[in-house]
Amino acid sequence: MQASHEMVPAANLADADTQKKMSDENDEDQPPPGFGESSDAVKEVTQQLETTVKVSEGETVDEPDLSLKSGGLREQPEAEITTKTEGDSIYTAAQKFEDLPLSPELLKGLYVEMGFKQPSKIQASTLPMILTPPYKDLIAQAHNGSGKTTCFVLSMLSRVDPSVPFPQALCICPTRELVVQNLSVLRRMAKFTTITSTSTATELEDGGMRRTPIKEQVVVGTHGKLKNWVTKRLLALENVAILVFDEADEMLKADAFADDSVRLINQLRKKNPKVQLLLFSATFNDEMKRFAMSIARQANQVFVAKEKLSLDVIAQYNVRCPDRTSKTRVLKEIIFPNCDRLGQTIIFVRTREAARTLHAEMDRDGYKCTSISGEKAPEDRDRVVQEFRDGTTKVLISTDVLSRGFDVSQVTLVINYDVPIERDGRSPAYETYLHRIGRSGRFGRKGAAFNLMSTAQDMEVMARISSYFNKPIAELKWDDEDQFIEVLNKTL
């Protein structure tokens, strides 16, 4: 494949020309990196759907209350969304949920159980694409907190035949916590249907080990156990009509995730060539976008330019600390004393060990918080998350196990105790940054993020993140509590 253009490597992301070009014609019709597309496949009708700021006409934009009840969480300014449909299909954005081919039971679930009033923008544009036969694949990117979960949960539920007692819809997620959360949303939305569901995190009561084939119609899981179930013939793929990847770019990253993900897709397509593949995430960098398109070559596509991805409702600040010890002082002397008025806080660290030791130190010195990482037992993780959801705990120290998708509406503050870097130990983890700060400011609430930097590398990383998203990040003095409080009062 010729790397003719737009292969913006991380190194020269500061190039302003490149950035402008990308945002202007962000996705100029780059055909999938394949060969021999038939003239039919090449005939990609590029058509803009109703993605302009129509909904907010007549209302003031800064009226957060109105957005609360729409099917997603918060309404985003999504004029920057690029929609590309494949083939001849023409879709009309759904103004109301009734415009969609949904059963009365599902509509009731949306209105009564979920309390939604109307589709969010990502739902309005993608649900018609997903639910209109022939059921085409979809690669969909949308802002954090814009209602992606509702999209794929509705899609799975509406493709299930309640009279068939076998798995018909699968959803694969990167973490146990996301599995639990997605299953919970799914069961609420399915409340008035007879559709059954289970997950890879649901089997504790089974003594840990499943022995009988799954009869539930929707299955949500992490890749390891799903693979295991398929291998042991506990999960039959014959009737699966739809496969959803939550946090798809993460699930397709070149490591263990990708291997299992691709294998599952291939197995499924072998059993049922028409299986519908949905890839959802808030982030698709150029590489993952290409990879996703190579997996789903005929997919409809919805993308957001990365410069438009950073959420303006989340105030972001860099904090230059003299050393790592002073990061802890920021927590003890500034964050914790203001905890009560802050809502809830998530502190992200890089390693399991850091989660453990920081928690131990805070605990020792009387600062009440909890911590979570992959080294904890599943029951402990469940408990810690539940306490945080209940609001029993206000501050949670976490590795990136919770960086994606974790939805707790009371979180107003995210602390990057360690700035996000890739596993090479050097490169900025752009996507991780966006996901982490997106844990705050949910449900139309405001949020803030503090990035604690103590080394030259930390500063370099934050500088590159800032330039990647074209988002200036102001700096705060680490030992000036008044400044912090002023910022918090202003933004929260």
Partner DNA sequence: CTAATTT
As measured in angstroms, the least distance from the Cβ of 364 to DNA is 21
468 Cβ contact partners less than 8 Å away, ≥ 6 residues apart: 10, 13, 306, 428, 430
Among 333, 375, 382, 460, indicate the residue that binds DNA (CB under 7 A).
375
**Residue 470 contacts DNA per CB under 7 A:** no
Among 65, 255, 390, 482, indicate the residue that binds DNA (CB under 7 A).
255
As measured in angstroms, the least distance from the Cβ of 381 to DNA is 7
CA atoms of 46 and 302, how far apart (whole Å): 11
> Among 234, 272, 264, 233, which Cα is nearest to 248's?
264
Which of 231/266 has CB closer to DNA? 231
Which of 97/417 has CB closer to DNA? 417
**Residue 144 contacts DNA per CB under 7 A:** no
Size of the site for DNA (CB under 7 A): 30
Count CB-CB contacts under 10 A for residue 213: 13
As measured in angstroms, the least distance from the Cβ of 280 to DNA is 17
- Asked if 272 and 242 touch (Cβ cutoff 8 Å), the reply is no
- Asked if 481 and 333 touch (Cβ cutoff 8 Å), the reply is yes
Structure-block tokens of residue 367: 């600062």
Stretch that binds DNA, among 77-85, 109-117, 237-245, 370-378 (CB under 7 A): 370-378
Which of 148/223 has CB closer to DNA? 223
Which of 175/276 has CB closer to DNA? 175
> Among 222, 145, 272, 259, which Cα is nearest to 381's?
222
CA distances from 252 to 149, 217, 294, 376, 404 (A): 18, 25, 11, 25, 14
Stretch that binds DNA, among 81-89, 133-141, 252-260, 314-322 (CB under 7 A): 252-260
**Residue 353 contacts DNA per CB under 7 A:** yes
- Asked if 409 and 439 touch (Cβ cutoff 8 Å), the reply is no
Binding mask 403-442 for DNA (x = CB under 7 A): --------------------xxx-----------------
Provide the b/e sequence for 144-161 (b: ≥16 CB within 10 Å).
Answer: bbbbbbbbbbbbbbbbbe
Stretch that binds DNA, among 152-160, 217-225, 272-280, 331-339 (CB under 7 A): 217-225
Among 89, 132, 228, 427, indicate the residue that binds DNA (CB under 7 A).
228
Among 70, 144, 399, 454, indicate the residue that binds DNA (CB under 7 A).
399
As measured in angstroms, the least distance from the Cβ of 172 to DNA is 10
C-alpha count within 13 angstroms, C-beta hemisphere, residue 395:
22
**Residue 359 contacts DNA per CB under 7 A:** no
137 Cβ contact partners less than 8 Å away, ≥ 6 residues apart: 276, 277, 278, 279, 296, 298, 299, 300
Among 168, 222, 300, 470, indicate the residue that binds DNA (CB under 7 A).
222
CA distances from 456 to 344, 425, 477 (A): 30, 14, 16
Q: What are phi and psi for residue 122, nearest 5 degrees?
A: -65, -35
Stretch that binds DNA, among 103-111, 142-150, 224-232, 457-465 (CB under 7 A): 224-232
Which residues in this chain contact DNA in the complex, by CB under 7 A? 174-177, 200-201, 222-225, 228, 250, 253, 255-257, 260, 350-353, 373-375, 399-401, 423-425
